Amino acid sequence: MDDGLRVNDRLVVPSAELRERFSRSSGPGGQGVNTTDSRVELSFDLATSPSLPASLRARRWSAWPAGWSTAC
């Protein structure tokens, strides 16, 4: 069963709305850290998510800091 990503007791983002990207980690690390995809980036499209109520999306955008990228 796919439970998605639980944000809190009232909000679960379905796995279908999440995007995973795997890449090599930068910086120091253990043996093999730079030879395997050891970093994971998880992204979510807040602006178009059907999982979030419109009121929550609007509140989030009004608080978005200037200069932050919304592109994935």
Spell out the domain ranges in the chain. 5-62
Residue 42's pLDDT is 86
Structural contact between residues 4 and 14, judged by C-beta atoms closer than 8 angstroms:
yes
At residue 72, does pLDDT exceed 50?
Answer: no
Phi, psi (5° rounding) for residue 57? -60, -45
d(Cα 30, Cα 16) in Å, to the nearest integer?
32
Question: Is 32 or 12 the better-scoring residue by pLDDT?
Answer: 12
Could you tell me the CA-to-CA distances from 61 to 30, 49, 54, 57 in Å, in that order?
Answer: 39, 13, 11, 6
pTM of the predicted model as reported, rounded to 2 decimal places: 0.59
At residue 34, does pLDDT exceed 60?
Answer: no
Residue 61's pLDDT is 66
